[in-house]
Amino acid sequence: MYRSKSNSRYRTIILLLFLFAMPCYANIFECVIKENGGDYNSLSTWESAIDSNLISTRTLVFYFSSITGTMIDNATLTGLTSLATGTLLHATTYYMALKNINGIFQSGETVYRTLSVNFVVLSDSGNPFSAYANIQSSWTNVDSSAVDINGWTTGISNFIKIYTSNSARHSGVWNDTTYRLVNSVGYGSITFTEENIIIDGLQFRNASTVEGACVYDVDTVENPPCNFTVSNCILRHEGEPSANSRGIFFRGNGSAGIWKVYNNVLQHLNPAIIDFGPATNGSTFYIYNNTISSGIFNAFSDGFNAKDVIYLKNNISTVKGTCYPSWTAIIKSTHNLSLDATSPDTAYRSLYPTFISDTTDFGLVNTDTSSYNNGWSLNPDYSGGPDITTDIANVLRKSTPDIGSREIAAITSIVVKKKRIGSYIQ
């Protein structure tokens, strides 16, 4: 039978439009964190509510079109047709996550907390998921509650991601109107004993007078393979740092961990700004495009294992102590700048970049000759690490990028150190 090509194309277009119009069943369960409104008002309350075994077949996320009545965290839900049950972690506008599921929920069935009063009609039969905390909007006050990510079970495809949206994110400079996690808790402002965690775009300030850190991995026993990422963050200590006031402390006790630390600003931390150890046996570290400045002692400590591999690229270290240690681990280094003579890269020793401010704004000025247009392109990164396409402020990296966390995107007038004339765009 003859079919015109135009009719076939028409049917194809209609089918594609139908497919694109279908709801997206992405394996993500995302909660919104806001100072006012949102699903939760702090990271710690989100963590306590969503804490679960993400790789279990009894922990699933479901899609629905609307909620009748209300859904309450920790409520027991029942399927009207399947008689399956589960404990509600949380429900957003179109998704809900359940744990401790018994039975198999069916697409199209009513799932209720109170029959005919508080219920949803499922649009699917559930999927495993990654747990996302999406921090949004301006923040007048700090989030002062320490976050302890503990008790979860994660996997490479079922991970935890904590990040700021544009409305809650800094622009590469500390901002007292965007999200910031500020407290005086010993050990860590955010602490985790789990694997497969991404932290992106946050501000941390810790004023602890005892051993601590802004981000602290406490003796994680890795179940290989596992991943950790800290990116696009500002980490600092409040006031004069005390002993052991670290920025990032990954203490993994195991093997085969992969750590990615890139596009961060770390300052006023003591004794180690990025501190790894003591027993990371055979792990891989990608430390890219960080600006480490205003420190009191060493920028790095050498707690690495001799089997560890460290890819060190495009970092700025201008601390008062030792910028780079004598590494025990296997080092693969390029384009790392140091104020002293310790950089693994000879041509980048004893240099000081020209910042907009030596204490608050670590953007480079266009008259700088040490870091401006002097980095190594990581787009792509042929070492297997993250491809660095943007800087801490989400500015596109140039084909020959700048060293450090900030990229000069455009200059519309002359900029001099510690003073701005006209407009500086970054």
- Asked if the structure places residue 273 within a domain, the reply is no
Question: What is d(CA 414, CA 165) in angstroms, rounded to the nearest whole number?
Answer: 31
Domain of residue 74, residue span: 28-122
Whether 80 is covered by a domain: the verdict is: yes
Q: What is the mean pLDDT of residues 17-22?
A: 38
- Answer whether residue 70 shows pLDDT above 60: yes
Residue 102 lies in a domain: yes
Percent above pLDDT 90 for the chain: 63
Average pLDDT over residues 327-348: 94
269-287 pLDDT tens trace: 765 566 665 555 678 899 9
Contact 199, 167 (CB under 8 A): no
Residue 12 is predicted with a pLDDT of 45
Domain assignment present for 58:
yes
Q: Model pTM greater than 0.85?
A: yes
Least confident span in 6-10, 202-206, 210-214, 413-417: 413-417
| Structure-token pair, residue 285 | 């570290």
**Computed from CA positions of residues 268, 273, 278, 280, in that sequence, does the dihedral angle turn out positive or negative?**
positive
Say what the pLDDT of residue 295 is.
Answer: 66
DSSP characters for 270-323? BS-SEEE-S-EET-EEEEES-EEES-SS-SB-----TT-EEEEES-EEE-SS-S
Planar angle of CA 129, 135, 140, nearest 5 degrees: 160
Q: Is residue 167 part of a domain?
A: no
**How much is the pLDDT for 320?**
80
Taking only the tens place, the pLDDT of each residue in 129-147 is: 999 999 999 999 999 999 9
Highest mean pLDDT among 184-198, 204-218, 271-285: 184-198
pLDDT in tens, 222-265: 566 678 999 999 998 876 656 666 788 877 665 568 889 999 99
Task: Look at residue 194 in the predicted model and tell me its pLDDT.
Answer: 87
**Residue appearing with tokens 């390029």:** 334
* Residue 38 dihedral angles phi and psi, to the nearest 5°: 75, 180
**150 — pLDDT class (breaks 50, 70, 90):** very high
- Per-residue pLDDT tens digits for 347-380: 999 999 999 998 889 999 989 999 999 999 999 9
The type of residue at 302 is D
| 131: β partners | 29, 160
Give pLDDT, residue 183.
Answer: 86
CB contact at 8 A, 361 and 393: no
Instruction: Give a yes or no: residue 156 inside a domain.
Output: no
Residue 118 is assigned to a structural domain of this protein: yes
Q: What is the pLDDT of residue 224?
A: 62
Task: State how many domains the chain has.
Answer: 1
Question: Which of 105-114, 188-197, 384-393 shows the lowest mean pLDDT across its residues?
Answer: 188-197
Mean of pLDDT over the chain: 85
Across 56-60, 199-203, 220-224, least confident range: 220-224
Q: Which helix (H) or strand (E) holds 11?
A: helix 5-21
Residue 254 lies in a domain: no
Strand partners, 127: 61
pLDDT of 178 higher than 50: yes
